[in-house]
C-alpha cells in the first residue's frame, strides 16, 4: 500500500449548527483527521486538547464554495476553508487518497497492516516546521532548513508524526519540539525535549539538532502590526491621563520606528539529526523540598496560566525606569494586565509573558545560562543572560545578568493559598550594589 500524504496546518471550520467560522489546527493521522483549537505555537493550559475528529473511513472530500471563501472543502457534513487554491488541492488529494485506502467490508484492517509495515521498515517519523501563521513546511532528516525568528525569545517549532509507535500508544504519535535556536552558536549540536501534542507530558526522547549558520536580519515590515498595536494602547493611556498628545504622538511614532529598525531578529539554518533517548532525568539546581513528599508527586504548583492582580500588586514602573526602559513603553506596560503561562518538561521550564507583546523564555532546569539579546526600546544594548537558580514544587527563582555595568535582576516566585495564587518578588540590583524591589501577586486563571 502506498504511503499516504501527511498534512498539518490551520484551516477554518464551519460549525454545524450556528454556521459560524473558526480557525482550527488540523492534523491528519492514519485513520482520521484531528483538530485542535490552535497551532502548537500558541498552546496554553488545556487549549491543546483535541476539539474533534473526522474519521476517514468511507469519507469523500469535494471542492466547495461559501460566501467570501472560494477554496472550501466539504468533508461529509463538515465544511472546511483553505486560504489558497494549492492548499485546497493538497488537502483534497490527501483526504481522498487516505479515505480510498479503506475497505468498508473489513473496517480498519488495512490501517493495522500499514502500521505493521511501517514498524517493520523502521521508517523515520515525518517532520513539519510550523510557522506562527499556521503554515507548515515538510522537513527532511539531516537536510538543511532555514527559519527566521522575529524576536530573541522565539522558538522554531517542529511537529513530529510517527505511525510506527501507534501499536504501543494506541494512536499515531503526535509530538512537538520547541527549538530555542537563538541561544545556540553556529556549528554546534544541541538536544531539545520532545512533548506529546495534546498531552503536555514529556517523552523519554529528545531531538538532536545541528545549528549550521546564523545571520542577523531586519524585520521592520514584519513588526508593523505590532507597532500599530503599541501606538493604539499608548494613545489610549495618554488620552485617559489628559496629557498633551500632539507633541507626545510625534515622540511615540519616532520610538516605534526606531524600535522596528533595531529588533535583533535572526535567520538560522539548521538540520534535524535524530531522535535520542534520554539516559536519565537532568540534574536540578535545587532538589524538591523534602517536607512536601505527597504534593511533589504531581505537577509543580506553579504550572498553569496566571493573571496579575493589580489591586494587590506594587507597580513595576520604577524598576523599568531604573533599567532605562522608554517612558511610553513603561506607562503602556503598566496599564495593561499581564498574563503569565508557566509549564515544565523533563529538561526545561517555559515562561510565556503576555503584556504589550508576548515574550517566551525556555530555561534548562539544570541551571545552564541562556544568552539572548537585550530587548529594544531601552537604554541597554548588547547581550544578557539568565538561568534558573531554584526549581522546587512551590518555588522558582530566576537570575538575570545584564551587560557589564547594568546590574541584574532576581525574580522569585512562591506559590501560596493552596496553589491558587503566587507572589512574584523582583529585586533589581544596580552595578553599585544598591537595590530596588517590588512584589506582584498573580492568581490562577
Highest mean pLDDT among 145-159, 206-220, 387-401: 387-401
Query: Of 93, 122, 151, which residue is a domain's last?
Result: 122
Same domain? For 312 and 397 the reply is: yes
Q: What is the pLDDT of residue 26?
A: 86
pTM for the model: 0.40
Q: Are residues 208 and 248 in the same domain?
A: no
pLDDT of 389 reads 92
Residues 235 and 192 in one domain: no
DSSP SS3 for 106:
coil
Q: Are residues 211 and 244 in the same domain?
A: no
Residues 275 and 224 in one domain: no
Q: Measured in Å, how far apart are the chain's first and last C-alpha atoms? A: 48
pLDDT at 335 over 80: no
Residue 398 has pLDDT above 90, yes or no: yes
104 pLDDT more than 60 = no
Q: Are residues 274 and 253 in the same domain?
A: no
Contacts of 249 (CB under 8 A, 6+ apart): 235
CA–centroid distance for 308 within its chain: 21
Q: What is the mean pLDDT of residues 154-159?
A: 79
* Sheet with 421-429, edge to edge strand ranges: 358-364, 348-354, 339-344, 304-308, 435-444, 421-429, 408-416, 395-401, 383-391, 370-373
Q: Among 43-57, 64-78, 374-388, which is the least confidently predicted range? A: 43-57
Dist. CA 334–CA 328, nearest whole Å: 10
| Domain of residue 253, residue span | 220-261
Bigger pLDDT: 228 vs 382: 382
Instruction: For 144-157, give one letter per residue: b (16+ CB within 10 A) or e.
Output: ebebebbbbbbbbb
Contact predicate 268/181, CB 8 Å = yes
The grid coordinates listed for 373 are: 539579546
CA angle 444–435–308, rounded 5-degree value: 15
Give the residue from 231, 261, 291 where a domain finishes.
Answer: 261
Average pLDDT on 224-228 reads 53
User: Do 21 and 159 fall within a single domain?
Assistant: no
Separation between Cα atoms, residue 226 and residue 229, nearest integer Å: 5
Domains held by the chain: number: 4
Does residue 29 sit in the same domain as residue 157? no
Mean local confidence (pLDDT), 116-127: 56
Contact (CB, 8 A) for 244 and 235: no
Q: Is 367 exposed, middle or buried (0-12, 13-18, 19+ CB in 10 A)?
A: middle
Say yes or no: 287 and 192 in one domain. no
Phi, psi angle pair for 288, to nearest 5°: -65, 145
Q: Cβ of 342: how many Cβ atoms within 10 Å?
A: 19
CATH number, residue 317: 2.40.128.20
Residues 33 and 171 in one domain: no
Quick one: cell of 65?
Answer: 464554495
Q: Kindly report the CATH number assigned to the domain that includes residue 73.
A: 2.30.29.30
Q: Clarify whether residues 432 and 285 are in a common domain.
A: yes
The residue count of the chain comes to 445
Give me Rg for the CA atoms of the chain: 24
* Structural contact between residues 274 and 141, judged by C-beta atoms closer than 8 angstroms: yes
Least reliable range by pLDDT among 20-24, 107-111, 127-131, 371-375: 107-111
Scan for cell 481522498, then name that residue: 96
Residue 136 in contact with residue 128, Cβ under 8 Å? Answer: yes
- Is 292 in the same domain as 437? yes
Give me the numbers of helices (H) and strands (E) for the chain, helices first please: 7, 25
Amino acid at each position: 500500500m502506498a504511503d499516504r500524504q501527511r498534512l498539518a496546518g490551520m484551516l477554518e471550520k464551519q460549525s454545524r449548527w450556528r454556521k459560524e467560522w473558526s480557525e482550527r489546527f488540523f492534523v491528519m493521522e492514519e485513520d482520521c483527521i484531528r483538530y485542535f483549537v490552535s497551532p502548537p505555537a500558541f498552546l496554553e493550559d488545556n487549549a491543546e486538547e483535541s476539539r474533534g475528529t473526522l474519521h476517514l473511513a468511507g469519507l469523500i472530500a469535494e471542492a466547495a464554495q461559501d460566501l467570501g471563501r472560494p477554496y472550501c472543502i466539504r468533508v461529509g457534513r463538515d465544511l472546511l476553508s483553505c486560504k489558497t487554491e494549492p492548499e485546497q488541492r493538497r488537502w483534497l488529494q490527501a483526504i481522498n487518497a487516505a479515505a480510498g485506502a479503506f475497505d468498508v467490508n473489513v473496517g480498519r484492517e488495512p490501517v493495522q497492516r500499514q502500521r505493521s509495515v511501517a514498524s517493520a521498515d523502521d521508517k523515520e517519523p515525518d517532520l513539519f516546521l510550523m510557522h506562527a501563521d499556521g503554515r507548515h513546511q515538510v522537513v527532511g532528516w539531516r537536510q538543511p532548513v532555514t527559519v527566521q525568528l522575529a524576536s530573541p525569545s522565539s522558538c522554531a517549532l517542529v511537529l513530529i508524526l510517527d505511525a510506527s509507535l501507534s501499536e504501543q500508544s494506541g494512536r499515531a504519535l503526535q509530538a512537538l519540539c520547541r527549538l530555542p535556536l537563538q541561544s545556540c552558536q553556529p556549528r554546534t549540536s544541541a538536544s531539545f525535549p520532545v512533548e506529546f501534542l495534546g498531552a503536555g507530558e514529556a517523552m523519554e526522547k529528545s531531538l538532536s539538532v545541528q545549528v549550521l549558520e546564523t545571520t542577523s536580519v531586519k524585520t521592520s515590515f514584519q513588526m508593523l502590526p505590532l507597532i500599530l498595536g503599541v501606538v493604539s494602547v499608548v494613545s489610549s493611556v495618554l488620552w485617559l491621563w489628559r496629557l498633551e498628545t500632539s507633541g507626545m504622538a510625534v515622540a511615540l511614532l519616532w520610538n516605534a520606528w526606531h524600535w522596528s529598525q533595531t529588533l535583533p531578529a535572526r535567520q538560522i539554518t539548521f538540520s534535524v539529526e535524530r531522535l535520542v533517548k534520554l539516559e536519565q532525568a537532568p540534574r536540578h539546581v535545587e532538589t524538591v523540598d523534602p517536607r512536601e513528599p505527597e504534593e511533589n508527586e504531581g505537577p509543580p504548583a506553579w504550572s498553569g496560566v496566571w493573571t496579575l492582580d493589580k489591586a494587590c500588586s506594587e507597580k513595576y514602573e520604577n524598576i523599568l525606569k531604573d533599567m532605562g526602559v522608554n517612558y511610553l513603553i513603561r506607562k503602556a506596560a503598566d496599564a495593561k494586565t499581564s498574563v503569565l503561562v508557566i509549564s515544565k518538561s523533563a529538561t526545561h521550564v517555559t515562561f510565556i509573558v503576555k503584556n504589550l507583546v508576548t515574550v517566551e523564555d525556555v530555561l534548562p532546569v539544570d541551571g545552564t545560562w541562556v544568552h539572548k539579546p537585550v530587548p529594544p526600546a531601552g537604554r541597554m544594548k548588547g547581550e544578557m543572560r539568565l538561568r534558573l537558580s531554584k526549581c522546587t514544587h512551590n518555588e522558582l527563582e530566576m537570575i538575570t545578568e545584564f551587560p557589564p555595568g547594568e546590574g541584574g535582576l532576581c525574580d522569585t516566585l512562591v506559590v501560596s493559598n493552596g496553589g491558587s495564587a503566587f507572589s512574584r518578588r523582583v529585586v533589581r540590583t544596580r552595578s553599585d550594589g544598591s537595590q530596588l524591589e517590588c512584589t506582584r501577586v498573580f492568581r490562577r486563571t
